[in-house]
Structures are given as C-alpha cells and as structure tokens.
Amino acid sequence: MPGTILITGSNRGIGLEMTRQFADDGWQVLACCRDVPGAHELRALREKYAHVRLFQLDVTRYDQMTALSKALWDQPIDILVNNAGYYGPKGVAFGQVDVDEWRKVLESNTIAPYKMAETFARNVADSERRVMAVLSSKVGSIADNTSGGGYIYRTSKTAVNQVVKSLSIDLREQGVSVMALHPGWVKTQMGGPNALISVEESVAGLKKLLLGADLEHSGRFYNYDGSEIPW
Ligand SMILES: NC(=O)c1ccc[n+]([C@@H]2O[C@H](COP(=O)([O-])OP(=O)(O)OC[C@H]3O[C@@H](n4cnc5c(N)ncnc54)[C@H](OP(=O)(O)O)[C@@H]3O)[C@@H](O)[C@H]2O)c1
C-alpha cells in the first residue's frame, strides 16, 4: 500500500473526488464525513475499494474528533487533508454581514483545521511522508484582494493561512510539512455551475502537490496547478 491519507468532508465535491483518486491509486483512505449513512457516493466507493474506511466526523465537534483520534491511535497518517469547508451566506455586501454566520464559518474553516492538526500531529509525524494540507482559497490572499467584500469567507481563509504558517514552523522539527492549497474555481456545490474547472482536474493537480510535498514546500500557499500564491 502506498500510504494512508485522511480527508475531511469526503462525501461530496473535492473531498469525494480526492477519496476516489487516492483509492484508485491503492492508498488507504480514512474518509471522514458528517453523515456516513447518507453519504451514498462515498459508500459506493467503500464497496469498490476495501482500503477506503469511513468515519463520522463533524469537524466542529471536538468530541467526535477525540473519539476518532482514539480509534486511529496507532495509525500513521502520511497525508492529512483539511478539506471540509463552509462558505456561509453568498453575495453579502458591506452592511449586511451576519455575525453569527461569520462565527460558524470561522469555526469550520479556521479553528477546525487547527484542532485537526493538534489532534493528529502525532499520527502524521509517525508516518513516512508527514504532510498536512488545508484547502484554503485564493480569496483569502490579502495581496490578491482587489474587489473587496466577502468578509466572512475571505477572513476564514486568510486566518487559516496564518494557521498553516505557524504550524509549518511549530511542526518542522518533527519533519511535518504543512501547506495551504487553492483548488481553483471548481464545479462543486460551493463553486457552482459557472466554475472554471472540474473536480477531476482540480484534484489531479492537488494530488501532485500532496505527493511532491516536503519541508521545502512547507509554510507556502499553492494553486492546484503548482504555481505559488502570494499571502
Ligand atoms: N469549489 C471551489 O471553487 C473552491 C474554491 C476555493 C476553495 N475551496 C475549498 O475547498 C474545500 C472543498 O470545497 P468543495 O467545493 O468541495 O465544497 P462543497 O461541495 O460545498 O463540499 C463541502 C464539504 O465540506 C463538508 N463540511 C462542511 N462543514 C463541515 C463540518 N462542520 N464537518 C464536516 N464536514 C463539513 C461538507 O459536508 P456536508 O455534505 O455534510 O455538508 C462537504 O463534504 C473547502 O474548504 C472550500 O472552501 C473550494
């Protein structure tokens, strides 16, 4: 077996396609999602590939995270992918921001990836590849912000980029590489039908980055095509 990858939010969109592509390459995939019984496409993958294992995980439920870490206590994790994400209300302009939604988005997009890192750092450090990644977004780049707005989602991704940077410094001694990844504008429920690329294309690019990652790439922000994005 080439290795073990843990993916959050693996029941649809980018997470589901990542599960499919890594499973197809023979990886053990620890596929996590909120509603395992309702995850029909993911369960179909489980039927096809014996090395796909399903786990219940709402990334904002730390009791579930702790239970999962106990279930995976002796399991080295080569690649940990914080993919689960929530956009929050769309088209919200200055003056219309719902702060309760903002807190919810920060909880899933910023705090949860940090908690995942804290919970599973030992498993990743015990593996061969020792890679962590967060699905961030180009809209979290301050340098790239020329259009304003998007207060809720933008700040959640900007903040998680800072989490990635600090993790890359704090976990370097253990040989763990930590990257922020932009998947492109992808045709998923979040990206919508007008998005520019398919999940297959996005994940093929992300997979290359994940498989090529080492400490030289740690603490950096990459587009799915391998180019670097300014913070
Ligand atoms: N699509 C794009 O164009 C794009 C661009 C830039 C960045 N991204 C980022 O890429 C990642 C994946 O996006 P996507 O396009 O695949 O989105 P998506 O189709 O909306 O899927 C989001 C996934 O996250 C899961 N999720 C949300 N909140 C969760 C929670 N609290 N606990 C566990 N799982 C949760 C969802 O599970 P449920 O089915 O249970 O809701 C679903 O599996 C996200 O982090 C997103 O911000 C996407």
What single string gives the DSSP state of each residue in 184-215?
A: -SBSSTTT-TT-SB-HHHHHHHHHHHHHT--G
Catalogue the long-range contacts made by 143-152 (C-beta closer than 8 Å, 24 or more residues apart).
143/230, 143/231, 144/229, 144/230, 148/94, 149/92, 149/93, 149/94, 150/92, 151/92, 151/94, 151/97, 151/102, 152/88, 152/89, 152/92, 152/97, 152/98, 152/101, 152/102, 152/105
**pLDDT for the residue numbered 92:** 87
Q: Which residues line ligand 1 (CB under 6 A)?
A: 8-9, 11-15, 33-35, 58-60, 83-86, 108, 135, 137, 182-183, 185-186, 188-191, 195
pLDDT of 114 reads 98
Which ligand 1 atom minimizes the distance to the CA of 13?
A: 16
Segment 137-194, tens digit of pLDDT: 999 999 999 999 999 999 999 999 999 999 999 999 999 999 999 999 999 999 999 9
- Kindly tell me if the per-residue pLDDT of 91 is higher than 90: no
pLDDT of residue 196: 97
Q: Which domains does the chain have, with CATH numbers?
A: 4-223 (3.40.50.720)
Which ligand 1 atom sits closest to the C-alpha of 108?
A: 31
Question: If DSSP codes are grouped into helix, strand and coil, which group holds residue 179?
Answer: strand
Predicted TM-score of the model (pTM): 0.98
pLDDT tens-digit map of 97-131: 999 999 999 999 999 999 999 999 999 999 999 99
Span 8-65, pLDDT tens digits: 999 999 999 999 999 999 999 999 999 999 999 999 999 999 999 999 999 999 999 9
